[in-house]
């Protein structure tokens, strides 16, 4: 199932985007330091509910400032070894323990592009969305 909305976080604001046939379009946005953030988000949610009366499903877009990209050499040869090599390469890349990171990679040879984010960051974003009524 593809979500019909996205909450796009930046370091100082959140935008509500709607999926359309032409791509994502902005429904509205709010700065985090607005006088009444809950009211601003309730207004965005109300717009979403008007646009999608059958239900609002939302994906979360994490700010790039919270993601770290690196290149690692992880030749494998199998998936279990490759995963272990990646995790060894992640060690020390952030203030977090590797067990506290969520990561993904792409690449076909031994050189991989890896992106990581703190699990805590994902949990905070999900809690924020849930708290403000975004499914």
Say what the pLDDT of residue 29 is: 97
Say what the pLDDT of residue 135 is: 84
Instruction: Assign 13 to helix, strand or coil.
Output: strand
Residue owning tokens 């976080």: 9
pTM: 0.89
Instruction: Assign 55 to helix, strand or coil.
Output: coil
Distance, in Å, from the CA atom of 48 to the CA atom of 58, rounded to the nearest integer, reads: 10
Tokens standing for 85?
């090599």
34: which residues sit within 8 A by CB, 6+ positions away? 40
Say what the pLDDT of residue 126 is: 97
Say what the pLDDT of residue 99 is: 97
Q: Please, what are the averages of pLDDT over each run of 10 residues along the chain (135 residues)?
A: 94 97 96 97 97 94 97 96 97 97 96 98 97 93
């Amino acid at each position: 199932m593809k979500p019909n909305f996205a909450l796009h976080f930046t370091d100082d604001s959140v935008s509500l985007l709607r999926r359309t046939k032409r791509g994502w379009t902005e429904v509205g946005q709010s700065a985090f330091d607005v006088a009444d953030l809950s009211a601003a988000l309730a207004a965005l949610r109300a717009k979403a509910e008007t646009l999608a009366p059958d239900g609002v499903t939302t994906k979360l877009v994490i700010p790039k400032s919270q993601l770290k990209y690196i290149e690692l050499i992880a030749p494998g040869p199998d998936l279990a070894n490759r995963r272990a090599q990646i995790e060894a390469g992640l060690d020390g890349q952030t203030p977090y323990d590797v067990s506290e990171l969520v990561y993904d990679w792409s690449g076909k040879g031994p050189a991989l592009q890896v992106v990581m984010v703190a699990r805590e960051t994902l949990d905070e974003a999900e809690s924020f969305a849930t708290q403000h009524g975004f499914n």
